[in-house]
Structure 1
Amino acid sequence: MPNSLSTASSNLLFSLFIIQLLFTTSLIRATPENSKLFREYIGAEGKNVTFSNVPVNPNVDFHFILSFAVDYTNSSSPSSTNGFFNPYWDRDNLNPSQISSIKGHHPNVKVAMSLAGDTLDNHFVYFNPASTSSWVRNAISSITQIVREYNLDGIDIDYEHFNADPDTFAECIGRLLVYLKQNDIVSFASIAPYEDDSIQPHYLALWRKYGHLIDYVNFQFYAYDNRTTVPQFMQYFDTQSSNYRGGKILLSFGTDGSGGLTPENGFFMACSMLKSQGKLHGIFIWSADDSKEADFHYEKQSQDFLASGK
């Protein structure tokens, strides 16, 4: 006859072993991984920058982001077209044949387009839907057409001015992303918010309901003060990681003289610190147009940093 006390002890030990195994496995799965993703906006400034001008390190994942597709008319007084997007980037230098060429020469390159941006012809570009259903219908149609014409891989959301409440923005963009992803129109999506009381609520509303469809958060850290220090930058990163909990928050700086933490003042030091913590999800730069004069020095440095094992 088996010893019941011994059997109970064995069962208890086995149960504890299974619990520990599950706990350890969950920790392994939850361990964050550093990324070798580099992204760069291109085409907004009309400075004749081509894809081939920008150095591409073969050991990173490289995303060009065309800037911008806009649902406004191009006139002396731009007005909303309620979701009918057209490309307003430098189409002479950044056209479908050049996209095919850069992808052919660099298998690690993907190309996305960003929606809206800040201004068009010195006028603010507003998110201004006539209705959720009509905006989504028009956006799906026009964006699908652009993606197919240019052979694009992804989409970025960069509205910075709003004539609609956060919930309407969340529903419009969210339904658009649902369609684009479910129908394999795009393979990845990102948003590009920054710290501003008139902007963040819209993106946070979108994140709360549709964050599972958003692969990257291109947070505009260069919108902070140009006297930003490394400790402040780390605090900003923690704040935005909390806001967009579970999201891949990319680090960023501008080469246009905007604010934030610059490479000269410790940007790569902050990157190293986050990399050591397993929190470096990638780097993006605004923008290739502004980097041309400096021969893309920081693009090379950023990609070398990401590609290194250090």
Structure 2
Amino acid sequence: MGRIVLGSVMHLLRLGAAYFAVQAAAGLLWWVLVFTVPLVREATLGSLDPVIVAVFDIPLFVIESAVAGFGVRAAAAVSTGWTVIVAVVLASYATITGEAGWGVLAMGAATAAFPAALCAVLLGRIPTELILRGPFAFRPARRADSANHVATTFGQLVVFWGFFLVVVPTAISALEQRWNVALPFPPLAAGAGAVILVLASVLGVASAVAMSTKGEGTPLPAAMPNRLVIAGPYRWVRNPMALAGIAQGAAIGLILQSWLVVAYALAGSLFWNYAIRPLEESDLKQRFGEDFERYREAVRCWIPGTPCAKT
């Protein structure tokens, strides 16, 4: 067991260092293009003086990332901190001026991945369990009648759908226009998005009802079901609510004709699958034991298949 853990740590350390090395190479290539291709300079820096920016960015991003690629922890911390600062400053500049939008996206993508790479280099692990602390920690719901659980569940849907499917996509779409990074969509995109949104919402509601009536709980981690739910959409796929949420987000992106909103939905699916799902399944295994193991073996995570036996 000790050898397995050590091997996993070393693997993460190598992956984290490799990410920093790739970022160093990408940053160097970008600076070459900035000084040789006017279109790249304008799209990523706008009216900013590239020489002044390069004086700070090349040593703090390119060189420090390259050093971090050799596993130097201090360099990884410096590179990550600098990337976050640049992303925030560049986003503010682009929002005020309407310039350098593609530069914001590039730095935003780097910033999103840097914390995980930094943890890999510093700790040899990515502490995803910190996400589910405090009000987001896994806890069984208090015992109550089904009507109470259903009402609580629908209250959660209103709050979460309102925020993640209305507020956030609207803000992203507005920034996409402001940063001048919008791309054209096919004529039927909005209509297709509306159909997908309706179907995904029906799936989400059906999943929520099954969760609250059969599981004696809610979808929220702080009030999780007291019974393993193998009913409704859960008979066909293990995570119908997550599947519905991803489809809803992508559908909103089609309706708004915003590729950034579609990307936001896909990024959310990756975050949920690799950060949240393992923790959730570990909790389910601990609470429901062999029943959950049999369910996991019989029903796939993302792709619907042959329905499992009802419970």
Scaled by the length of structure 2, what TM-score is found? 0.25
Judging by fraction of residues, say which structure has more strand.
Answer: 1
Scaled by the length of structure 1, what TM-score is found? 0.25
Structure possessing the higher relative contact order (Cα contacts under 8 Å, 6 or more residues apart)? 1
Judging by fraction of residues, say which structure has more helix.
Answer: 2
